Structure 1
């Protein structure tokens, strides 16, 4: 009787990459490659993949992120459009409420360059009710991790620790598409 094979995870990127449905290595080909695994890149790729799934298409989507794991940034908050994006891809308010704190609106101030600094206009952007589309006080690392796992479950390959080497020769069209040079950012 054989015992299960033990695998050792040596880095955060190996752990995150192991959650990809297909493989944790860079694919030989991909229909769409997104360089960068931040919030906007992830949302873009998720929207694309969901559209492809609705159309019963099987195009492959790969995200290549240089960092080993989602990064930390202080003091991040969102506008209503971020909550709307999440709602459109299927991440609803109850889940967001468990992960992030509410942000009670946002105010923009317009000061005339020629006028009195005490004379300004305030634009209050509270958005729709928070139970419909919330504005959130988020933690970047948590939001990127949530979107990474969501993307991987849709079949998007999200690969951390992969740095794309971009230059004019790399982006020159070839007969079979564009070839990207990628290196492991762990082995710098």
Structure 2
């Protein structure tokens, strides 16, 4: 074996040894793996209490499975292509919707986000969810309690129109507010 090959092999062995030694020290300090030392018990009350944001998520999940229906007084809004921002027209519509919701405080609200058929299914479901969340957050800012609202992103699953035209795609890029009394 040449002297260069000996040096290369020695260097590789040194680097491997240093890496293993570093891993052993990290485990001994408890970074990343359980060090084997017993942990103090968590009080039952603390373990049972939901963390920040979990209460809203639980309430929203309980609203999702219920039957909702459209109400003629609650107008839908439309979004731009690949967008989840509210236009000034959409804000005006949501403000009217929020006034109706304030007048009907017992109505549970489901906000649906929809997309046109362009894009992958996964992307469109995520975009639909972002659209629904933007509407929910706007309603919250207008005084509609979070506990009354749930969101769902349908993506392209429930089209209003199935033609491959810009007019049809525009109709499918929508946010819908439904209620359950």
TM-score, scaled to structure 1: 0.29
Greater helix share, structure number: 2
**Pair member with larger Rg:** 2
Structure of higher RCO (CA pairs closer than 8 Å, 6+ residues apart): 1
Greater strand share, structure number: 1
TM-score, scaled to structure 2: 0.30
